[in-house]
Amino acid sequence: MATSGALPPPPDFEAWSEKDFAPIVAFLRNVIGITLESHRMGLMQARLRSRLQARNLTSFTQFHDQVLRADPTGWGTQVLIDLSTVNHTAFFREPAHFTFMAEKVAAWLKEGPGLPVRIWSAGCSSGQEPYSMAMVLAETLPPQQLPRVEIWASDLSLEMLKVAAGAIYTSRDVQGISQQRLKRFFLLGRGPREGSFRVVPEIRDMVKFRHVDLRNSVWPVPTDLPMIFCRNVSIYFAEDERLALIERLAQHLRPGGWLVMGNGEIIPGVTPTIRKHSPSLYQKEA
Ligand SMILES: C[S@@+](CC[C@H](N)C(=O)[O-])C[C@H]1O[C@@H](n2cnc3c(N)ncnc32)[C@H](O)[C@@H]1O
Shared-domain flag, residues 119 and 77: no
CA distance 166 to 127: 9
Task: Check if 47 is active-site.
Answer: yes
Cβ-based neighbour number of residue 28 at 10 Å:
20
- Protein residue whose Cα sits closest to atom 16 of ligand 1: 236
pTM: 0.84
Domain interval for residue 22: 18-84
Question: pLDDT tens for residues 124-139?
Answer: 999 999 999 999 999 9
Boundary (domain end) residue, out of 57, 84, 111: 84
Shared-domain flag, residues 171 and 277: yes
- Protein residue whose Cα sits closest to atom 13 of ligand 1: 123
What is the total count of domains within the chain? 2
Boundary (domain end) residue, out of 61, 84, 107: 84
Shared-domain flag, residues 239 and 195: yes
Helix residue ranges, H only, the chain? 18-27, 41-54, 60-62, 75-84, 96-111, 128-140, 158-166, 179-185, 201-204, 239-251
| Type of residue at 120 | W
Choosing from 34, 155, 210, 248 the residue with most ligand 1 atoms within 8 A of its CB, the one to mutate for a pocket test is 155
pLDDT on residue 85: 77
Shared-domain flag, residues 201 and 112: yes
Shared-domain flag, residues 141 and 168: yes
Task: Check if 198 is active-site.
Answer: no
Shared-domain flag, residues 102 and 50: no
Give the chain's residues under pLDDT 70.
1-7, 11
> Domain holding 41: CATH number?
1.10.155
| Type of residue at 194 | E
Shared-domain flag, residues 121 and 249: yes
Which protein residues are within 6 Å of ligand 1, measured from CB? 85-89, 93, 123-125, 129, 155-157, 160, 212-215, 231-233, 236, 262
